[in-house]
Amino acid sequence: MIEFESVGKTFRDGTAAVVDLSLTAPSDKITVIVGPSGCGKTTTLRMVNRMIEPTSGAITWDGSPLNSMRKTTLRRQMGYVIQSGGLFPHRSVLDNIGTVPGLLGWSKAKTQQRALELLDAVGLDRKLGQRYPAQLSGGQQQRVGVARALAADPLVMLMDEPFSAVDPVVRSELHEFFLGLQRELSKTIILITHDIDEAVKLGDQVAILRVGGHLAQVGTPQELLDEPADAFVEGFVGRDRGYRSLQFLPAGNLGLERVKVVRDLEAARGHEPTLVVDADARPVGWADPEHPGQIFALGSTFSPESDTLRVALDSALTSPFGLAVAVDRGTGRYAGVVSAQTILGQVTEARASVVESISVRAAEADREAAGGATAITSTSTGPETEPPHAPTTLDETDPAVLVEQDDLEPPVDQDAAPGAADSERRT
């Protein structure tokens, strides 16, 4: 667990990049920090591996102040991934991945073996190990960056906009890969992005910063979408937050209905919605009632076992008849249909229970405040809240961070305000 306690960072020119930040990044979870450009995200992240020192407050790791630990020791336990992977252009992929094990004095054979295993772990062909970074696509480079950060099996991963340099399709693949990896590895991850969709998708917990490094709100993605603390957060999470919050509601409780199903398109007659399936009962499309023998595109389908109401509603909205087609997750076989109205009915019920729980919590908070109770557990500030999923993070270690900035002075934080040196010596 990494804890920021009233942390501030004012650079020497007077820029207050972070102001009074209190935030807990729980162990084995992904904490996403999101906010507009210049709001202090990178500064916050760099204070964790001490590339930058706070000018006020303290950061602890499992209860120990960071400034009581040697920077080298700290950084070797914290993988660091920067935008575009930050790979060394003149080193092969395998050598890039083996950077930290090399610094730690591992044998060549052991380092090579670890690098090859990591290529497997991040889903890259071992043959790519001999290439140089420029001979890889952007998405492949980001995977190598992650592999490099994971090389010495760090406890913590610090990731600064790790997926920003790739197109939306590759980015979405990397997200899935990253979440899968985190399910396996359970690292403590702090990930930065300025993309709220990425934050909501990846974060167990999301912290929103406003310019000047002020914490606007922290909570689970669902809490931010359901209960934005103020107009800034509401604006930041976007106008379609209602639609996006559907991704936290499972589609498993939707009652499926039946429609007419044919294998042979020619058998489709009349105006009732008729679904065409293939020989394995997988849906192919909808028969066009106006033009016998022709077929409408199927639209998207959903799987009740694993998908959410967002996917189900999208499926209904892309169907020519407003009917979402459910398929079996494993086989892809047709399982039934559900109308957009039914899905919206379930959304309405879910919203009602959210509103109820919000008002119950508000009433409890009022009561406790009135009674002078000790602590109010607000859903929007509790870092301990259980997130809806435990995604994966990858990290990479910047050797510059591990050696040069650690062992050579002056440190990266050349702009530390005058008070910084004192706070650094604090134990």
Ligand X SMILES: Nc1ncnc2c1ncn2[C@@H]1O[C@H](COP(=O)(O)OP(=O)(O)OP(=O)(O)O)[C@@H](O)[C@H]1O
Neighbours of 191 (CB within 10 A): 30
Interface with ligand X, residue 304, by CB under 6 A: no
- Interacting span for Mg ion (CB under 5 A) from 35-43, 109-117, 255-263, 272-280: 35-43
In the complex, the smallest distance separating the C-beta of residue 246 from ligand X, rounded to whole angstroms, is 28
Short-list 233, 156, 158, CA closest to 200: 233
Interface with ligand X, residue 254, by CB under 6 A: no
C-beta of 93 vs 401, nearer to Mg ion: 401
| Residue 379, contacted partner among ligand X, Mg ion, none, CB below 5-8 A by kind | none
Q: 257 has which bridge partners?
A: 337
Interface with Mg ion, residue 42, by CB under 5 A: yes
Q: 24 has which bridge partners?
A: 3
In the complex, the smallest distance separating the C-beta of residue 41 from Mg ion, rounded to whole angstroms, is 5
Q: Which residue intervals of 261-384 are DSSP H helices?
A: 309-317, 340-370
Each residue 2-21 as x (binds ligand X by CB under 6 A) or -, in order, gives: ---------x-x-x-x----
| Residue 15, contacted partner among Mg ion, ligand X, none, CB below 5-8 A by kind | ligand X
Short-list 93, 89, 88, CA closest to 127: 93
C-beta of 42 vs 205, nearer to Mg ion: 42
Q: Which of residues 191-230 bind ligand X (CB under 6 A)?
A: 194
Q: Which residues contact 325 (CB under 8 A, 6 or more apart)?
A: 275, 283, 298, 299, 301, 302, 315, 319, 334, 337
| Residue 173, contacted partner among ligand X, Mg ion, none, CB below 5-8 A by kind | none
Sign of CA dihedral 173, 175, 179, 185: positive
Q: Dihedral of the CA atoms 171, 175, 178, 182 (nearest 10)?
A: 160
d(CA 280, CA 293): 20
| Residue 39, contacted partner among Mg ion, ligand X, none, CB below 5-8 A by kind | ligand X
Q: Which tokens in the block code for residue 38?
A: 């210049």
C-beta of 34 vs 254, nearer to Mg ion: 34
| Interface with ligand X (CB under 6 A), residue from 40, 54, 57, 383 | 40
- Interacting span for ligand X (CB under 6 A) from 40-48, 53-61, 182-190, 243-251: 40-48
C-beta of 43 vs 303, nearer to ligand X: 43
Interface with ligand X, residue 41, by CB under 6 A: yes
Q: Which of residues 289-348 bind Mg ion (CB under 5 A)?
A: none
C-beta of 42 vs 393, nearer to Mg ion: 42
| Residue 266, contacted partner among Mg ion, ligand X, none, CB below 5-8 A by kind | none
Q: Which of residues 143-202 bind ligand X (CB under 6 A)?
A: 194
C-beta of 42 vs 222, nearer to ligand X: 42
Interface with ligand X, residue 39, by CB under 6 A: yes
3-state secondary structure of 321: coil
d(CA 336, CA 326): 5
Q: Which of residues 42-71 bind ligand X (CB under 6 A)?
A: 42-43
Backbone torsions φ then ψ of 150, nearest 5 degrees: -85, -10
| Interface with ligand X (CB under 6 A), residue from 91, 415, 419, 424 | 415
d(CA 306, CA 335): 14
d(CA 88, CA 348): 52
C-beta of 101 vs 145, nearer to ligand X: 145
In the complex, the smallest distance separating the C-beta of residue 209 from Mg ion, rounded to whole angstroms, is 11
In the complex, the smallest distance separating the C-beta of residue 305 from ligand X, rounded to whole angstroms, is 38
Q: Which residues contact 163 (CB under 8 A, 6 or more apart)?
A: 142, 171, 174, 175, 178, 193, 198
- Interacting span for Mg ion (CB under 5 A) from 39-47, 223-231, 293-301, 310-318: 39-47
| Residue 288, contacted partner among ligand X, Mg ion, none, CB below 5-8 A by kind | none
Q: Dihedral of the CA atoms 161, 138, 156, 180 (nearest 10)?
A: 110
Q: Which residues contact 387 (CB under 8 A, 6 or more apart)?
A: 29, 30, 203, 204, 205, 220, 221
d(CA 17, CA 41): 9
| Residue 194, contacted partner among Mg ion, ligand X, none, CB below 5-8 A by kind | ligand X
d(CA 61, CA 69): 10
Q: Which tokens in the block code for residue 202?
A: 């990846």
Which spans of this chain sit near ligand X (rule: CB under 6 A)?
11, 13, 15, 17, 35, 37-43, 194, 415
